[in-house]
């Protein structure tokens, strides 16, 4: 009996040679590390070294988050990944009225350069790679990181890491936008240009499908809408006068990994192939690094359950395996208790140990692209690619990613798929262990990690002291220069850096840009 994949594509009980009839292996596969990169972006993949184990963490104050980072480094994590609280993501200070009740809750509160100093105290920024999950105010957090590195004596040219900086997916699926799409894209182009000149090793954007998947996107929708956003960013940078090979090598992506191993592996392989062709054929990229789709993966938080939370350890291991088999460059494995609260130290350590077992106790790192040539894998890769290309063509018909967003197309498609999943789960057609089958009569008690509500008042006091002790005239001058740059065509990151160095706060800098660019008001779904 034929089953359907998460994307609604058929999965046959048996595949044979007929599945690959008229199939050109050289065109569709190539060699590992060679165009179209279906088999991976590097020739040796994990046979030389494993993926980067980059655990996502951040909560409460900068000092508390710093302690968690120090623990993760001691336990063997290879890269840091910073989670910011909601006010920081929205460009508000902790003492703003709109921030009440959210300070430090889903990430660390960063209001100024003082917080950034505390966040990375004792961590040599020339020795670690840092990813920051921040979008609308990404430029601010990158500049604060650069300023702290300079205080450590580390040259910006030595900094490595990634800012997510993918605001288009915020309009589609997540909602932490600030400015309308056009000035947001201008800001992203300014970041590309600034990093090329000042922080050349930095990955300037992590184009994200993860949050679309968390909102309910299917695998085909996830890569279609993510790659369409990527195309929009490339066009924006080219329109701003940049050559595709000036910034293409620093583009990166961010995907989810679900428990459906076969389709997830197919999804990753299809995404690489589509992006390679787009960059070479549409944009004329000549540098092979511009054609490579390099990506970070996070296991699927949306599939974790509050019921019987310990079985999430199994889900995360399966999801992590899918990411590795799909050729990810870095991986975050979720903690088993994240459906309940912030991870405890023990659960965060167990999540990291899951990756270490995959890397060092299994044989999946012994060979490149283990599924290559499999009838089922190659057919599923083709099927996901075709489905994604059809969605991408629909976006082009609507005028591109921004026009499609403004018409609510991507959001509407995701919502319809999320509704389908909810109906299947409610009916029992989609089995979720511990939720609609194999439940316990009584759940075992669990004591989650909780954020101290006093953090909000603590941050407010620190902000008051900061404002009282800084040179306000210097702050005012820098913010005036920032507004002038935003009104004109100059790169806004240079006056922005001056303002942050003078101890302007995240909220003050974002407010200066809000005065010029306004804020985004969403439209109804398509």
Q: What domains are defined for the chain?
A: 3-363+372-427 (3.20.20.240)
* CA–CA distance, 467 with 459 (Å, rounded to integer): 12
Residues 294 and 187: their CA atoms lie apart, in Å, by 23
Burial class (CB in 10 A: 0-12, 13-18, 19+), 407: middle
> Which value, in Å, is the radius of gyration of the alpha carbons in the chain?
23
Q: What confidence score (pLDDT) does residue 22 get?
A: 85
198-to-16, 207, 444, 467 alpha-carbon distances in Å: 53, 21, 53, 29
- Measured CA distances, 395 to 392, 404, 406, 524 (Å): 5, 6, 11, 17
Give the integer Cα–Cα distance in Å for 131 and 114: 19
Helix H or strand E encompassing 297: strand 295-299
Query: Longest C-alpha distance within the chain, in Å?
Result: 74
CA distance linking residue 10 with residue 4, whole number of Å: 5
Phi, psi of 487 (to 5 degrees): -75, -25
- Positive or negative: CA dihedral 59, 321, 340, 347: negative
The confidence score (pLDDT) of residue 450 equals 78
Q: Where are the beta strands (DSSP E) in 125-248?
A: 129-133, 160-163, 202-203, 205-208
pLDDT per residue over 380-419, tens digit each? 999 999 999 999 999 999 999 999 999 999 999 999 999 9
Query: Tokens representing 392?
Result: 């991408």
Q: Look at residue 156 in the predicted model and tell me its pLDDT.
A: 97
Report how far residue 364's alpha carbon sits from residue 370's, in angstroms, rounded to the nearest whole number.
Answer: 7
Dihedrals phi, psi of 518, to nearest 5 degrees: 80, -175
Three-class secondary structure of residue 101 per DSSP? coil
**Rounded distance between C-alpha atoms, residue 365 and residue 325, angstroms:** 9
- Find, among 360, 303, 355, 314, the residue nearest to 332 by Cα: 355
CA distance 295 to 42: 12
The sign of the torsion formed by the CA atoms of 215, 217, 223, 226 equals negative
Contacts of 489 (CB under 8 A, 6+ apart): none
- pLDDT number for residue 1: 65
Q: Supply the DSSP symbol for 278.
A: I
Q: Which two tokens stand for residue 212?
A: 């679309």
Tokens of 237: 């940078």
Q: Which helix (H) or strand (E) holds 53?
A: strand 52-57
Per-residue pLDDT at 526: 39
Please tell me the predicted confidence (pLDDT) of residue 221: 98
What pLDDT, on the 0 to 100 scale, is given for residue 342?
A: 81
Element (H, E) at 80: strand 79-83
Q: How far apart are CA 357 and CA 352, in angstroms?
A: 9
Cis check for the bond before 36: say yes or no (omega within 30 of 0). Answer: yes
Output the tens digit of pLDDT for each of the chain's 526 residues: 679 999 999 999 999 999 998 888 888 999 999 999 999 999 999 999 999 998 888 888 999 999 999 998 998 887 888 999 999 999 999 999 999 999 999 899 999 999 999 999 999 999 999 999 999 999 999 999 999 999 999 999 999 999 999 999 999 998 999 999 999 999 999 999 999 999 999 999 999 999 999 999 999 999 999 999 999 999 999 999 999 999 999 999 999 999 999 999 999 999 999 999 999 999 999 999 999 999 999 999 999 999 999 999 999 999 999 999 999 999 999 999 999 988 888 999 999 999 999 999 999 999 999 999 999 999 999 999 999 999 999 999 999 999 999 999 999 999 999 999 999 999 999 999 999 999 998 888 877 777 788 999 999 999 999 999 999 999 999 999 999 999 999 999 999 999 999 999 999 999 999 999 999 988 654 3
Give the CA angle between residues 324, 317, 261 to the nearest 5°: 55
Tokens of 323: 């990411």
């Amino acid at each position: 009996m034929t089953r359907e994949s998460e994307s609604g594509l058929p999965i046959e009980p048996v595949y044979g040679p007929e599945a690959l009839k008229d199939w050109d292996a050289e065109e569709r596969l190539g060699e590992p590390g060679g165009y179209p990169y279906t088999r991976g972006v590097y020739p040796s993949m994990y046979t030389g070294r494993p993926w980067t184990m980059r655990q996502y963490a951040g909560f409460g104050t900068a000092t508390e988050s710093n302690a968690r980072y120090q623990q993760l480094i001691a336990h063997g994590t290879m890269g840091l990944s910073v989670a910011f609280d909601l006010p920081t993501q929205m460009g508000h200070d902790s003492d703003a009225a709109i921030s009440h009740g959210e300070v430090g809750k889903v990430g660390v509160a960063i209001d100024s350069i003082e917080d950034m100093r505390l966040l990375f105290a004792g961590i040599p920024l020339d020795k670690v790679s840092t990813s920051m999950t921040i979008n609308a105010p990404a430029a601010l957090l990158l500049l604060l990181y650069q300023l702290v590195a300079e205080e450590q004596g580390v040259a910006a040219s030595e900094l490595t890491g990634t800012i997510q900086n993918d605001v288009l997916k915020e309009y589609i699926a997540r909602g932490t936008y600030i400015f309308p799409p056009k000035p947001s894209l201008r800001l992203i182009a300014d970041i590309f240009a600034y990093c090329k000149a000042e922080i050349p090793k930095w990955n300037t954007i992590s184009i994200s499908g993860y949050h679309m998947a968390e909102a309910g996107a299917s695998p085909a929708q996830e890569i279609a809408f993510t790659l369409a956003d990527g195309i929009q960013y490339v066009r924006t940078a080219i329109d701003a006068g940049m050559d595709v090979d000036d910034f293409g090598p620093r583009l990166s992506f961010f995907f989810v990994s679900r428990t459906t191993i076969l389709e997830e592996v197919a999804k990753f392989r299809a995404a690489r192939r589509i992006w390679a062709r787009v960059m070479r054929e549409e944009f004329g990229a000549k540098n092979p690094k511009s054609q490579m789709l390099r990506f970070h993966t996070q296991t699927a938080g949306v599939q974790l359950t509050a019921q019987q939370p310990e079985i999430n350890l199994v889900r995360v291991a399966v999801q992590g395996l899918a990411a590795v088999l799909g050729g990810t460059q870095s991986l975050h494995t979720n903690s088993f208790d994240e459906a309940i609260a912030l991870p405890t130290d023990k659960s965060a350590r167990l999540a990291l140990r899951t990756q270490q077992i995959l890397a060092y106790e299994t044989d999946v790192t012994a060979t490149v692209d283990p599924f290559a040539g499999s009838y089922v894998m190659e057919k599923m890769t083709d099927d996901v690619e075709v489905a994604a290309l059809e969605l991408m063509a629909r976006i082009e018909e609507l005028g591109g990613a921004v026009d499609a967003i403004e018409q609510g197309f991507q959001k509407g498609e995701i919502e319809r798929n999320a509704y389908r999943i909810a109906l299947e789960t409610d009916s029992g057609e989609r089995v979720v262990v511990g939720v609609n089958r194999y439940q316990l009569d009584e759940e075992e008690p669990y004591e989650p990690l909780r954020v101290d509500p006093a953090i909000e008042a603590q941050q407010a006091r620190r902000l008051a002291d900061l404002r009282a002790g800084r040179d306000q005239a210097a702050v005012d001058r820098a913010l005036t220069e920032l507004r002038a740059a935003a009104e004109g065509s100059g790169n806004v990151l240079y006056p922005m850096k001056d303002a942050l160095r003078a101890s302007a706060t995240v909220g003050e800098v974002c407010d200066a840009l809000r005065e010029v660019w306004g804020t985004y008001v969403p439209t109804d779904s398509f």
